[in-house]
Amino acid sequence: MEQYKASIESVDNALNRLNQTLASYRLLSQQNAKAKAEEEARKQQIEQAKQHAPPPPRDLPVPATAPSAQAQAQDPQATARARVGRVQEANARLRQDPYNLPLHLVLSRIYLVMGYPDLAAGTAYKALILSDALDDEAEEYHDEAAESLKATIQQQPLEERIQIIRRAMDAELQNQTPSELDPALDVEITLWMKEHYRLIIYRLLSRSLLLCGCLRSAMTYAERGLEIYTQDAELTEILGLVLEAGDHLPNEPDEDSPMSEWPDNGFVRRERYPWNRHEPNRFEQLDHINQLMLEASDKLEVRTIDLPSLTGLDPKGISTQLGVFAKQDIAPGEQLLCETSLLTANNKLQDALCDACSADLPELGSPEYEKVKACEECEVVFCSEWCYQAAMDSYHPALCDKDVEAIAKDVEPAEAADALYSLLLLRALAMAEHQECHPLELDAVKYIWGDFSPIPAIGQILYTDLDSPHSCTIPRNLPFSFEHNIIRPFHMLEKMDIDIFATAHLYDTWIFNTLYAKFRGTASARLSGLGGRAMRGPEVSAVHPMWCLANHSCDPNVTWDWGGQIQFTARTERVQWRGKGGKMLQKSKAGIKKGEEILNHYCDVDLPVRERREWARGALGGDCMCARSEPGPSFDVPRRKITIGVF
C-alpha cells in the first residue's frame, strides 16, 4: 500500500485517498452517481456537525474548577466531588449530543468506579442500543448515532485513523477473503466500532451485571463478546468469574445448579444520589404537605419524628422522618382518612377494573354500570366520569393507543410483585410525560421517603474487589434485575414514542431506581375481583402518598381497606402478642388520643415474627424496629390467608 506523506493537509483528503485504495480491495463497492451525491451531502452535514461537536469523549477532562490530581489524592472529599462533577458534566454533554456512543461508555465507566454497577449497566445498555442501530441503517437511531460517532472519530489523530483502516486492509489481504463490511455503512465507523467501542460495551455490561448479581445476563453478554473477540483476556476473566459465582450458589450436596436457574437479580445501593436535585426538604415543606393531607383527612396532621434507623449500620442509630398524628380524639371504629390515587396498576389483562383507581367495575347490565365510561380512542374503561376526566388530566393521553396494555400482564405468581412495580413505574412515567414535569417532581411520589441508606462516608472503599458482588462494603438493599430496572423501563418509554436518548435527563436508570425505592414498602396491594379464587400473588397495587406517611408498626392502631379509595379506620381491638421470654403482654387500648401517632401496618400483622422481619428487609430495606419485632418476642397466632397488604 502506498505510504501516506506527513504533509497530508486534512483528514478528509486522507480518507478520500484511503477510500479509493479500499475500493480496489473490495472493502468498498463502486458508488453510482446518486450515491456520490448523497455522500457529498453527508460530508457537508458532517462538516457542520464538526463545528458544533464537543471535544473527543475518549475521557472527560476534569473541570477547570476541580482540584488537581495531587490535591485529590490528599483530599478524599475533593475526589468524591470531582467524580460527582464528572457525572454531571457527562450528563450535561449528553444533553447536547445525546446519541454519542463513546460518551455513554465514559459515563458508564464513571458509574462503575463510583460503585454504581447498576447505573453503569443501564448506560452501557444504551450504548449497546446505539451500537445495534449503527449496524442497520433502517434502525430508529441510526442516522443520529452515525453522525455523532463520525464527528467524534474525525477529531481523533489522523495517524490513528489511518492505522485502523490499514490494519483492516492488511487482515483482508492476509486472509484472502472478501470483506464482511457492509458497503451501505460507513467503513470507518464500522472499523472503529469493531476495534474499540463494541469490545468496551461488552466488557462494561458483563462486569456491571456480575456486580449486580445478575449472573445469567452477565454470562450472556460475556459470551456474546467472546464470539467476536475470541482472545480477549478481560471478557474471558469475567466469564470465569460468572461461572465461579454460579458454582458457589447454594444447592443440594453433589448437585450443580443448572445455568438456566442461576439468579438474574440481586441488590444494589438504595440511596439519594448525590446529583439528585429533585428530592425536597420535607421538613421545610410541612405546611404544604399538611395542605395535601387536608384533601384526605381533616383529623390528621403530619409532623417530624425520630425513628430507629433501619440501615443496620448503627443499632442505636436515629433517623428523623415524617409521621402522621391525630388532631383530635378518635374512637374505635371511626374512619379517619379517605384518599384517592391515580398512581395505580393491575397485572391482569382481562379483569374488569377501573384503569384510573383500580376499583372493581359494576356488573355488566346493572344500574351502576351506566356510570362506566370508556375512552373513545383506545376503549380503556373507567368506573366513572370523574375517573375518566382525572385520567385525561393526569396520565392517559401519554398511553392512549400506544400498545402498552399487555406489558407485564398475566405473569406467573412468582413474578406478580415485580410486574406491579413495573406497571406503577409505567403509570408514573406517563403522568410525568403528560404533565410535562420530572417524574420525581410528581405530587404522588415527591414527598415519599425511599428508605434511602446514608451516602457512604468520604473516602470509603465501596468495592474491595471489582470481580465480586459480595465485596461491596455498604448496604445494598434495593432489589434489582436487568429486566425490570433497565430493559423493561426503556421498552415502555419507546412504546410511548419517547426518545430515550434525547430525554435522558427525565428518564434514566437512576430515576427508575429512585422511583422503585419509593414504591417498595409504600405501595399497597390486593387481589382483584371477588370470590374464592386460588392465591396468585398480588394483582392490583397503588401508591397513596398521604396514607404511606403513617409509619409501620406490628401493633398498629388503625386498619385499612382499599377498593378505589384507601381508608383508615381506628382498630376496634389491638393485637395480642408475647414479649421477651414468652410473657403475654396486655393489649393496647383501642382508639386514638389527640396527639398520638397513627401506627399503620404495611404487612399482615398475624404473620410470625420471623416472616415479618423478612418482609421488612425486602420492603423497608432493614429490620422492623418496633417493640413487637425486636429480637426476642414471638407470636404464635395461626397464620391467615393474605389478601391485602404492602408488597
Exposure letters 524-544 (e unless 16+ CB within 10 A, then b): bbbbbeeeeeeeebbbbbbbb
How does residue 592 score in pLDDT terms, banded at 50, 70 and 90? very high
What proportion of the chain, given as a percentage, has pLDDT over 70?
72
Say what the pLDDT of residue 316 is: 63
Q: What is the pLDDT of residue 301?
A: 96
What is the average per-residue pLDDT within 65-70? 38
Beta-carbon contacts of 240 under 8 Å, excluding residues fewer than 6 positions away, are: none
User: Between 74 and 82, whose confidence is greater?
Assistant: 82
pLDDT at 459: 63
Tell me how long the chain is: 647
- Please indicate whether residue 370 or residue 176 has the higher confidence score (pLDDT): 370
Residue 65 has pLDDT above 50, yes or no: no
Q: What is the pLDDT of residue 273?
A: 93
Instruction: Give the three-state DSSP class for 646.
Output: strand
More confident residue, 230 or 633: 230
Check pLDDT > 50 for residue 23.
Answer: no
pLDDT of 645 > 80? The answer is no
Q: Looking at residues 510-528, what average pLDDT do you find?
A: 87
* Position 48 pLDDT exceeds 50: no
Angle, helices 117-134/198-211, rounded to nearest 10 degrees: 150
- pLDDT bracket for residue 26 (50, 70, 90): very low
Write down the pLDDT at residue 552.
Answer: 81
Helix, strand and coil content of the chain, in percent to the nearest 5, comes to: 45, 10, 45
Segment 394-408 mean pLDDT:
90
Domain ranges of the chain: 11-26+42-55+87-174+181-202, 284-341+544-647, 349-453+465-526
**Alpha-carbon radius of gyration of the chain:** 29
Predicted local confidence at residue 643, as pLDDT = 34
Q: Give the type of residue at 460.
A: Q
Whether residue 536 contacts residue 525, with contact meaning beta carbons closer than 8 Å, is answered with no
Kindly state the cell numbers that stand for 587: 393489649
Could you give the CA distance from residue 109 to residue 116 in angstroms, rounded to a whole number? 10
**What number does CATH give the domain 284-341+544-647?**
2.170.270.10
Please name the residues in contact with 600: beta carbons below 8 A apart, sequence gap of 6 or more: 324, 547, 548, 550, 551, 552, 553, 556, 558, 560, 568
Range with the poorest average pLDDT among 158-167, 288-297, 511-520: 158-167
Alpha carbons within 13 angstroms on the beta-carbon side of residue 145 total 29
Q: Which of 263-267, 325-329, 343-347, 522-526 has the lowest mean pLDDT?
A: 522-526
Instruction: Report residue 294 as a C-alpha cell.
Output: 387536608
Any idea which residue has 383527612 for its cell? 297
Eight-state DSSP code of residue 264: B
Residue 421: predicted pLDDT = 94
Q: Which residues of 402-423 are buried (b: 16+ CB within 10 A; e: fewer)?
A: bebeebbeebeeeebbbbbbbb
> Poorest-confidence range of 64-73, 199-208, 299-308?
64-73
Separation in Å, CA 172 to CA 166, 168, 178, 197, 207? 10, 6, 7, 21, 32
Q: Yes or no: say if 621 and 451 are a contact pair by the CB < 8 Å rule.
A: yes
DSSP letters for 595-627: TPBP-B-SS-TTS-HHHHHHHHHHHTSS---SG
The model's confidence at residue 55, banded by pLDDT at 50, 70 and 90, is very low
pLDDT band at residue 184 under the 50/70/90 scheme: low
State yes or no: pLDDT of 360 exceeds 70. yes
pLDDT of residue 161: 83
Average pLDDT estimate for 11-21? 45
In the predicted structure, residue 18 carries a pLDDT above the cut 50: no
The residue with greater pLDDT, 317 or 258, is 258
Percent of the chain exceeding pLDDT 90 equals 45
Which own/partner contact pairs does 302-306 have at CB distance under 8 Å and 24+ positions apart? 302/549, 305/551, 305/597
pLDDT interval class at 210 (50, 70, 90) = very high
pLDDT over 50 (residue 42): no
Most confident of 138-147, 526-535, 605-614: 138-147
Mean pLDDT of the chain: 79
Between 454 and 253, residue with greater pLDDT: 454
Task: State the Cα–Cα distance between residues 314 and 625, nearest whole angstrom.
Answer: 12
Residue 182 has pLDDT above 90, yes or no: no
425-458 confidence digits (pLDDT tens) = 999 999 999 999 999 999 999 999 887 877 776 6
User: pLDDT by residue (tens digit) across 596-634?
Assistant: 999 887 766 667 777 776 666 655 556 666 666 665 444
In 3D space, the residue among 22, 10, 9, 21 whose CA is nearest the CA of residue 155 turns out to be 10
| Residue 530: pLDDT band with limits 50, 70, 90 | very low
Query: What gap in Å lies between CA 85 and CA 83, rounded to an integer?
Result: 5
Contacts with 72 (C-beta within 8 Å, 6 or more apart), sequence order: 66, 78, 79, 82
pLDDT in the model for residue 24: 35
Question: What pLDDT is attached to residue 521?
Answer: 75
Residue 31 binned pLDDT confidence (cut-offs 50, 70, 90): very low
